[in-house]
């Protein structure tokens, strides 16, 4: 599944709806060879990647890319921080100063950016 042992990206707010940006992020990450994990409200899949409805993963997470607005993040924050990612990308509309501060206090890099733009311009690093 990850023959090169590349770091995993977790898409939070994953959806199997092709109109959603989280869906597009999963597809682009997968197409560009970045190993992807997905978390969402419903069990489903995108490009063969299962959308999990719980935040328990057996593999280390390098990057979390957020597609859930601040109003729905509160209950997820403790579990996301327990994953100890290297960075969290806050896509447009997901910016949350409290979450950003908590992450930075734990040494997690935070970026306010668009994952899709980072991918399309070659600036997405893993």
Query: How high is the pLDDT of residue 4?
Result: 57
Of the pLDDT bands very low, low, confident and very high (cuts 50, 70, 90), residue 6 is confident
Confidence band of 120 (pLDDT split at 50, 70, 90): very high
pLDDT at position 5 over 90: no
In the chain, where are the structural domains located? Answer: 8-120
Q: How confident is the model over 19-37, as pLDDT tens digits?
A: 999 999 999 999 999 999 9
- pLDDT band at 125, cuts 50/70/90? confident
Which stretch of DSSP H or E encloses residue 71? helix 70-73
Question: Radius of gyration (Cα) for the chain, nearest Å?
Answer: 13
Predicted local confidence at residue 20, as pLDDT: 97
Question: What global pTM score does this model have?
Answer: 0.94
Which residues touch 18 (CB under 8 Å, ≥6 apart)?
24
Residue 19 has a pLDDT of 97
CATH number of 8-120: 3.40.50.720
> pLDDT tens, 41-96?
999 999 999 999 999 888 999 999 999 999 999 999 999 999 999 999 999 999 99
Q: What is the structure's pLDDT at 101?
A: 98
End-to-end, the C-alpha distance of the chain in Å comes to 16
What pLDDT is attached to residue 93?
97
Within its chain, how far is the Cα of 21 from the centroid? Answer: 12
d(CA 99, CA 69): 11
């Amino acid at each position: 599944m990850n023959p090169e042992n590349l770091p995993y990206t977790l898409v939070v707010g994953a959806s199997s709806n092709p109109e959603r940006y989280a869906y597009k992020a999963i597809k682009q990450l997968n197409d560009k060879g970045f190993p992807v994990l997905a978390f969402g409200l419903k069990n489903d899949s995108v490009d063969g990647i299962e959308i999990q409805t719980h935040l328990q993963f057996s593999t280390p997470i390098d990057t979390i890319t957020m597609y859930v607005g601040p109003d729905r993040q509160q209950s997820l924050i403790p579990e996301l921080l327990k994953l100890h990612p290297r960075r969290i990308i806050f896509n447009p509309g997901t910016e949350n100063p409290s979450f950003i501060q908590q992450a930075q206090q734990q040494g997690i890099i935070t970026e306010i950016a668009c994952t899709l733009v980072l991918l399309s311009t070659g600036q997405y690093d893993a």
